[in-house]
């Protein structure tokens, strides 16, 4: 029965490219008109029912436990083909209904209290810094890089991302900067070192906190940085600048207004904030059931309409909104290639199920950014209309004096 249902689902779903499926009893069937190809082998009959009833979750779980196999390790090709066809909206009515219901209930299931938020963050970030060092750049930037040139290395593109954000913050030496969701400290340390500001970084990850503090001490920046294990909602200070990279995705749909209202409270009257976040340029949708269960519990990728509505309810100007397209896919590709190259070291740390989970995570995220309406938002916020230049020219003009001020020697001179 379930093989017949799945067969009909796939005949309806695959409208571009070609998918070859080998069923548990050995039957091989092709779906789609041809073109880009992918292949999958279903090893167990029980998987068929799961794929019919909850395909997104079952696909990931089947790959993790080995009941779903991808010949020649072409996992990315399979996921890209499925996501590309999913965009046509031809999934069965019951699958779409469940997804729509999960979207409607997101306000109830994403009540990220401070305690639950810390638990969710630690689920992902406190597994091991050693794992992240294997596939991130040297500065451990775990967010979308900025490829001003497609041939940039990962290190160069991550530096370009930090430079782009720093320019939007319009920094001056001596400013007090807040970094919400500071990660392993890379952004905070860069701003403190290259721009002469004092940065307070908050995180809910104990691993990230320890690494950020250690790096600050090693780089002689402990006096310009203050890293805290603290929920941003508990902060009471005012800051000249606020930066938040990859944090909004952990807030949850019910708390989007709370997040921007807190930024409103924390930002000085003449201040500027820059929020960097994954987002949908399509209507709001529920988080992937597999991502929510295994990778980012409590996470939510907001749509641009949701973010704009939350900002509109504050006293903040949306001084500038930039949609970064075509940057996160290449970033994830770099991470995925580095992860695969480091497999011998990963296997010394984790079992095969974890490795398959992480491989699926990196591949499905890359495919999502390449094949669906998902991008990165830069939202620049201020209290005053003219706190930010009225054109973007300042972002792309090279100023030798500014370049000098960003150097270590220039900062030492400015501090004297």
Q: Which domains does the chain have, with CATH numbers?
A: 2-104 (3.30.1050), 114-415 (3.40.50.150)
Residue found by looking up tokens 């593109």 in the block: 157
Identify the pLDDT of residue 163.
Answer: 97
Helix (H) or strand (E) holding 180: strand 176-180
Residue 412: pLDDT over 50: no
Residue 396 backbone dihedrals phi, psi, to 5 degrees:
-120, 5
Residue 221: pLDDT over 90: yes
Task: In whole angstroms, give the CA distance from residue 320 to residue 390.
Answer: 9
Residue 405: pLDDT over 70: no
pLDDT digits (tens, 9 = 90+) for 10-69: 999 999 999 999 999 999 999 999 988 999 999 999 999 999 999 999 999 999 999 999
Q: Looking at residues 303-332, what average pLDDT do you find?
A: 96
Identify the pLDDT of residue 299.
Answer: 86
Residue 402: pLDDT over 90: no
CA atoms within 13 A of residue 290's CA, in its CB half-sphere? 20
* Torsion angle, alpha carbons of 16, 20, 24, 27, to 10: 110
Identify the pLDDT of residue 124.
Answer: 74
pLDDT greater at residue 352 or residue 95: 352
In percent, the amount of the chain with pLDDT more than 90 equals 78
Residue 342 Rama label (left phi>0; alpha psi -120 to 50; beta): alpha
Give the other-Cβ count within 10 Å of 297's Cβ: 18
Identify the pLDDT of residue 112.
Answer: 61
pLDDT digits (tens, 9 = 90+) for 60-74: 999 999 999 999 889
Identify the pLDDT of residue 385.
Answer: 96
pLDDT digits (tens, 9 = 90+) for 103-158: 555 555 555 666 566 676 666 766 789 999 999 999 999 999 999 999 999 999 99
Task: In whole angstroms, give the CA distance from residue 34 to residue 5.
Answer: 22
Identify the pLDDT of residue 164.
Answer: 97
Identify the pLDDT of residue 277.
Answer: 98
Residue 330: pLDDT over 80: yes
Q: Looking at residues 232-252, what average pLDDT do you find?
A: 95
pLDDT greater at residue 411 or residue 77: 77
Task: In whole angstroms, give the CA distance from residue 92 to residue 59.
Answer: 16
Identify the pLDDT of residue 95.
Answer: 60
Distances (CA, A) of 90 to 65, 85, 370: 27, 8, 19
Identify the pLDDT of residue 87.
Answer: 82
Identify the pLDDT of residue 10.
Answer: 94
For the chain, the average pLDDT equals 90
Q: Is the dihedral of CA 15, 21, 27, 33 positive or negative?
A: positive
Residue 399: pLDDT over 60: no
- Closest C-alpha to 294, from 368, 347, 230, 359: 359
Identify the pLDDT of residue 110.
Answer: 54
Is there a catalytic annotation at residue 365?
yes
pLDDT digits (tens, 9 = 90+) for 276-287: 999 999 998 888
Identify the pLDDT of residue 117.
Answer: 65
State the catalytic residue, choosing from 52, 144, 182, 365.
365
Residue 248: pLDDT over 90: yes
């Amino acid at each position: 029965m379930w093989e017949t249902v799945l067969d009909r689902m796939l005949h309806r779903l695959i409208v571009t490219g070609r998918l070859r499926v080998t069923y548990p009893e050995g039957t091989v069937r092709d779906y789609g008109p041809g073109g880009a190809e992918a292949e999958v082998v279903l090893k167990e009959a029980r998987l068929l029912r799961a794929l019919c009833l909850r395909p997104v979750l079952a696909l990931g779980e089947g790959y993790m436990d080995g009941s779903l196999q991808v010949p020649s390790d072409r996992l990315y090709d399979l996921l890209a083909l499925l996501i590309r066809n999913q965009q046509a909206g031809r999934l069965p009515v019951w699958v779409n209904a469940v997804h729509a219901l999960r979207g409607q209930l997101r306000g109830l299931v994403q009540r990220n209290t401070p305690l639950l938020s810390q638990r969710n963050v630690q689920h992902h970030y406190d597994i091991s810094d050693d794992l992240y060092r294997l596939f991130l750049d040297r500065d451990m930037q775990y967010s979308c890089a900025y490829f001003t040139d497609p041939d940039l290395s990962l290190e160069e593109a991550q530096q370009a991302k930090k430079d782009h954000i720093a320019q939007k913050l319009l920094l001056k030496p001596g400013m007090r900067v807040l970094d919400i969701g500071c990660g392993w400290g890379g952004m905070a340390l860069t701003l403190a070192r290259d721009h002469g500001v004092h940065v307070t970084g908050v995180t809910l990850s104990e691993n990230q906190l320890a690494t950020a503090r250690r790096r600050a001490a090693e780089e002689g920046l402990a006096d310009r940085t203050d890293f805290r294990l603290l929920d941003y909602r508990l902060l009471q200070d005012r800051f000249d600048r606020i930066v938040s990279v990859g944090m909004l995705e952990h807030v949850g749909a019910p708390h989007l207004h709370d997040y921007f209202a807190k930024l409103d409270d924390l930002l000085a009257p003449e201040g500027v904030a820059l929020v960097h976040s994954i987002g949908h340029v399509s209507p709001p949708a529920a988080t992937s059931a597999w991502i929510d269960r295994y990778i980012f519990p409590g996470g939510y990728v907001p749509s641009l309409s949701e973010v704009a509505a939350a900002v509109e309810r504050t006293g903040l100007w949306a001084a500038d909104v930039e949609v970064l397209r075509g940057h996160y896919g290449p970033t994830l590709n770099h991470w995925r290639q580095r992860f695969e190259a480091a497999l011998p070291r990963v296997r010394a740390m984790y079992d095969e199920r974890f490795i398959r989970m992480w491989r699926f995570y990196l591949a499905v995220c890359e495919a999502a950014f390449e094949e669906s309406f998902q991008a990165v938002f830069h939202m620049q916020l201020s209290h005053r209309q003219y706190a930010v230049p009225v054109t973007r020219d300042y972002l792309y003009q090279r100023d030798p004096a500014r370049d000098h001020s960003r150097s270590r020697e220039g900062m030492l001179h400015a501090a004297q």
